Amino acid sequence: MPPIKPFKRKRAKIDPLFADEWNRIAKLVQGLSNFSVAPPLRMLKTPQGTMLAIAPAAKDWFIGRILNVGPAAAPNYTDQRYWIKEQKITNTDAAANDIAWGDETRDDALWVTATNLAEVISQSHDFPDNDNYRVMVYRSWDQTPIARYVFTSLPIVID
């Protein structure tokens, strides 16, 4: 982008914009060409031009439980996607050796569709239907910006 020429006052006291204000705005516009952002802000290319958007807040990672049925009884997936509900540790005994889990009960607890990266190539859906597997789920943003959730895990089969 070529530099914008500084504004020079043409007619005393009748200019719609003072020169110093024009020059401040011109520098600001020129600075936008070097502008970059970090999540949750996103710069999106749209038919109308570049747009700055704020992505919705979400955790970067959480422990979730794989479920066979989604919110409002949504059916199970058949590909590499799974319904995941956020979990919390429910232990009340500090000396307990095992971790006890339960569904997170906050109003904003996450219930998401997550893709198992270990199954992407095969497009499989290998976790048995027992609602008892817990996985670490990570959030990533696509270019729209929509949060996408992923985890990597192979089902453990015990004979």
pLDDT for 75-122, tens place per residue? 999 999 999 999 999 988 888 888 889 999 988 889 999 999 999 988
Q: Where are the domains of the chain?
A: 61-151
What pLDDT band is residue 29 in, cutting at 50, 70 and 90? confident
pLDDT at 10: 62
Beta carbons of 28 and 78 less than 8 angstroms apart: no
One-letter identity of residue 133: Y
In this prediction the pTM is 0.62
Alpha carbon distance 123, 27 (integer Å): 51
Mean pLDDT of 41-64: 75
